[in-house]
Chains A and B, each alone.
Chain A
Amino acid sequence: MFSSEKIRTLLEQLGVTHVVTVPDSTIGRWQTAIEERGTPRLVRVCREGEAWQVAAGLQLGGATPLVLIQCTGLLESGDAIRNALHDFGLPLFAIIGYRSYLNQDTLPGDTCLVFTEPTLDAWKIDYRLVTRPSQFDDIRPHFVACRDAGKPGAILLAEGKA
């Protein structure tokens, strides 16, 4: 939906220092642009629960991390989210790929569509659903609003395939 460079530039403008990530086929395409420019720094982890924990350490250390994962990874991250966001009160921000939202050809009846949004609600993560390219301009104000309010937030980015 968005070009890699467009996203990378936005993250840089927002002051994001580190992108902590496990890829999917949509958000994974952004890695090259991020890594080529070196800003923000790309941090690859092995599972998404770890991504929140690395981001928590970054935030405690004064950096501005972004968690970049697929919604499947959100579903495996529960205890890490609970501890980082709600025990330690760290207002982490994430961009989360919403698998199958635009197209269920690969995975008809993908249960990600059933559980992703209730999970975000359960974890009290204030999210905006982005389904069209014209909503690119919604990302910045939501990021800024969450940062200013000191609360966790996310962009839930509709994707077309697994």
Chain B
Amino acid sequence: MTSPTTTPTAPRTHMPAKDALAAVHAARDPRDIVITTMTPARDWMLLPQQPLDLVLVPSAMGSAPPLGLGLALAQPTRRVIVCNGDGSMLMNLGALVSIANARPANLVLIVFVNGTYEVTGSQPVPGAGVVDYPALARAAGFESVHAYGSLHEWQSAVRRIIAVPGPTFVALDVEQVHGQPGPKSPGPARERARQFMQALRG
């Protein structure tokens, strides 16, 4: 009987999720569309807001990457940055394939890998600590794939990474947070959708 072989993974470093997100906030151009969901949405709302921020609360869990794909296809001259949770990514892994297949050069998908469903009380996601998100993205057909666990390295790289034609995938290993409330809707979603469309029309 053969036993499965595994390669020990190097001990992973983890950065504070809020700081990782703040680096995205600092690097984004005001013309960029930024979609946030789950705890990245909660933390994004603590930072100064822009008209092209789409806080996906409420959401259909898993919907941020395909929503970003649609926006990237409709607005090819703007960069679209999606900040997703790892549980939400797992709920819609096929979206990696759909995105890679459509090849939107202006789409950046960032997954905040905390190994948990933080919003619902930090239960472990399936495959926590085992699933290799960058490998999934590469296997789906993404060509620009990156992973960071060090805040300093992410802060130094983020501007360069989001400037490269994509679709781009970034996995950020972030620290787990326990006991914080989940994101609260910043206002009626219909009204926010209307304002967002107006802002896009300029």
User: Is B16 in the interface zone, CB < 8 Å from A?
Assistant: no
Closest to B70 in A: A57
Q: Which of B22-30, B90-98, B165-173 touches A? A: B90-98
Instruction: Tell me which residues across on chain A come within 8 A of B94, comparing CB atoms.
Output: 45-47, 50
* Docked CA distance A21–B72 (Å): 17
Q: Mark A47-84, 1 if CB is under 8 A from B, else 0.
A: 10110011111111111010000000000000110111
User: Is B66 in the interface zone, CB < 8 Å from A?
Assistant: yes
Are B190 and A88 interface neighbours, CB within 8 A?
yes
| Secondary structure class of chain B's binding surface, majority of residues | helix
Q: Mark A74-98, 1 if CB is under 8 A from B, else 0.
A: 0000011011100111100000000
User: What interface size band does chain B fall in?
Assistant: 20 to 34
User: Is B124 in the interface zone, CB < 8 Å from A?
Assistant: no
Are B74 and A57 interface neighbours, CB within 8 A?
yes
Instruction: Tell me which residues across on chain B come within 8 A of A60, comparing CB atoms.
Output: 54, 67, 70-71, 74, 193, 196-197, 200
Are B63 and A55 interface neighbours, CB within 8 A?
no
User: Is B75 in the interface zone, CB < 8 Å from A?
Assistant: yes
A62 CB contact (under 8 Å) in B59, B69, B72, B200:
B200
Are B60 and A62 interface neighbours, CB within 8 A?
no
* Docked CA distance A84–B59 (Å): 8
Are B73 and A18 interface neighbours, CB within 8 A?
yes
The A-B contact count (CB < 8 A) is 108
What's the minimum C-beta distance from B102 to chain A, rounded to whole angstroms? 6
What's the minimum C-beta distance from B177 to chain A, rounded to whole angstroms? 25
Most chain B CB neighbours (cut-off 10 Å) among A20, A54, A90: A54
A45-B98, A63-B74 given; A57·B68 CB < 8 A: yes
A53-B70, A55-B70, A57-B68 given; A83·B58 CB < 8 A: yes
Are B75 and A61 interface neighbours, CB within 8 A?
yes
A49-B60, A60-B71, A61-B71 given; A54·B98 CB < 8 A: yes
Are A44 and B69 interface neighbours, CB within 8 A?
no
What's the minimum C-beta distance from B161 to chain A, rounded to whole angstroms? 22
Are A62 and B98 interface neighbours, CB within 8 A?
no
What's the minimum C-beta distance from B163 to chain A, rounded to whole angstroms? 21
A-B contacts, 27 listed (Cβ < 8 Å): A17-B74, A18-B70, A43-B73, A44-B102, A45-B98, A46-B95, A46-B97, A49-B60, A50-B98, A53-B60, A53-B70, A56-B67, A57-B69, A57-B71, A57-B74, A60-B54, A60-B67, A60-B197, A61-B73, A62-B197, A62-B201, A63-B70, A79-B60, A83-B63, A87-B189, A87-B190, A90-B193
9 closest cross-chain pairs (CB), A and B: A57-B70, A61-B74, A46-B94, A89-B190, A53-B66, A83-B60, A58-B70, A63-B74, A57-B71
